[in-house]
């Protein structure tokens, strides 16, 4: 199982959305994701789970960062950095689809 919440990278200004055929299992504090045809299970704990869930419709990283920053009263710049890193890893694993 891979925990991609600590990944590095950036996602630019793309609008991203969840890949519709990803198999999802949700528990109390995390979500586990499996792309059909791939043996790796990706595990997203804590707020990484919320980031994944926020891409249920097409959103930019900035949209998701602003939503979480407002919800938890966090600094939007710090949240943006974390969302960029995770989104880049999710794109790399084929879990998020982007459109320029």
Rounded to two decimals, the pTM is 0.82
What is the bridge-based pairing of β-strands 2-3 and 59-60? unpaired
pLDDT tens digits for 29-51? 999 999 888 888 999 999 999 99
The average pLDDT across 12-35 equals: 90
Question: Which domains, from first to last, does the chain contain?
Answer: 2-99 (3.90.930.60)
Q: Are the beta carbons of 43 and 36 closer than 8 angstroms?
A: no
């Amino acid at each position: 199982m891979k925990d991609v919440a600590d990944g590095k990278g950036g996602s630019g200004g793309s609008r991203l959305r969840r890949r519709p055929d990803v198999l999802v299992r949700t528990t109390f504090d995390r979500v586990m994701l499996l792309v059909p045809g791939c043996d790796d299970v990706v595990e997203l704990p804590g707020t990484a789970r919320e980031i994944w869930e926020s891409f249920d419709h097409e959103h930019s990283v900035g949209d998701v960062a602003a939503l979480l920053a407002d919800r938890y009263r966090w600094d939007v710049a710090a949240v943006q950095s974390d969302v960029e890193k995770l989104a880049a890893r999710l794109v790399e694993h084929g879990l998020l689809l982007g459109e320029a």
